[in-house]
């Protein structure tokens, strides 16, 4: 009898844990994608994909601020670990708990006692959707060489279903180097970015850049001309 009771208790706990995991996965899937919020003249972009989030604010062509990092979902709470903040680096490395709820295409988040409601732009579902890091680049000799991560400096490029953002940061030194983003299309081997915000040079806002692109063995091959007219060939790999 005791063995039956212990076995019943074990399976009961297993069902509870399975339910919790499935709920977390459902919430994680629900929050994935691109969201926007208009606050007066400020435009907020919240991109959530594959365990990372970026939140950026701009006012027309003027870049205001950006912060982001990694996250985990626990129930209806996003536990966000900040990896960079362009406005105030004192919180880098800290974890912020953000209660949230999703109703239809509206994401409501509670941030430091304030409520913010974002509207969904996309669900983060597309061939290139993911968080990418550059792992190969063509040199002056025309050969593509692997890029090995050194130190704590990191550059990521996040793509949701229709939006993109790159960020250069150094979490170890709490440094932010730059970011840019907007919307993108990927069709018939052509990848095109339409820039909506750029921290380094707001004169680039509104520009469109087109490249050749393909997915090969799970890696994104990206080639064409840079904004300065230089020939580029890069290989990007998904974080996971």
Q: 28-122 has which CATH code?
A: 2.40.128.360
Alpha helices by DSSP H, listed for the chain, are: 2-31
Inter-residue contact 126 to 114 (CB < 8 Å): no
The per-residue pLDDT for range 169-225, each reduced to its tens digit, is 999 999 999 999 999 999 999 999 999 999 999 999 999 999 999 999 999 999 998
The architecture in CATH of the region 130-238 reads Beta Barrel (2.40)
Distance CA 121, CA 17 (A): 32
Alpha-carbon separation of residue 201 from 52, 62, 178, 185 (angstroms): 25, 9, 10, 22
Equal fold, 28-122 vs 130-238 = yes
Q: How many helices (H) and strands (E) does the chain have?
A: 1, 17
* pTM reported for the whole predicted model: 0.86
pLDDT at residue 141, rounded to an integer: 85
The per-residue pLDDT for range 116-161, each reduced to its tens digit, is 999 999 999 999 999 999 999 988 888 889 888 778 899 999 999 9
DSSP 204: G
DSSP 10: H
Residue 20 clears pLDDT 50, i.e. is over it: no
The β-bridge partners of 96 are: 80
Going by C-alpha positions, the residue among 190, 182, 139, 185 that lies closest to residue 157 is: 182
* Domain parsing of the chain, residue ranges: 28-122, 130-238
More confident residue, 228 or 48: 48
């Amino acid at each position: 009898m005791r063995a039956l009771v212990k076995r019943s208790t074990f399976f009961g706990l297993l069902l509870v844990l399975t339910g919790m995991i499935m709920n977390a996965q459902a919430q994680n899937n629900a929050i994935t994608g691109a969201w926007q919020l208009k606050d007066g003249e400020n435009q907020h972009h919240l991109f959530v994909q594959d365990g990372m989030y970026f939140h950026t604010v701009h006012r027309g062509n003027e870049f205001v601020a950006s912060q982001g990092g990694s996250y985990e979902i626990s129930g209806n709470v996003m536990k966000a670990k900040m990896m960079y903040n362009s406005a105030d680096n004192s919180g880098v490395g800290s974890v912020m708990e953000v209660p949230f709820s999703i109703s239809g295409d509206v994401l409501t988040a509670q941030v430091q006692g304030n409520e913010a409601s974002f509207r969904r732009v996309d669900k983060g579902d597309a061939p290139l959707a993911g968080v990418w890091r550059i792992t190969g680049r063509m040199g002056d000799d025309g050969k593509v060489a692997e890029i090995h991560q050194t130190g704590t400096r990191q550059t990521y490029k996040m793509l949701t279903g229709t939006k993109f953002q790159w960020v250069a940061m150094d979490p170890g030194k709490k440094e932010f180097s730059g970011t840019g983003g907007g919307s993108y299309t990927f069709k018939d081997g052509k990848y095109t970015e339409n820039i909506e915000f750029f921290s380094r040079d707001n004169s680039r806002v509104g520009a469109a850049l087109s490249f050749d692109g393909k997915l090969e063995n799970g890696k994104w091959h990206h080639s064409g001309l840079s904004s300065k007219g230089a020939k580029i060939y890069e290989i990007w790999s998904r974080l996971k």
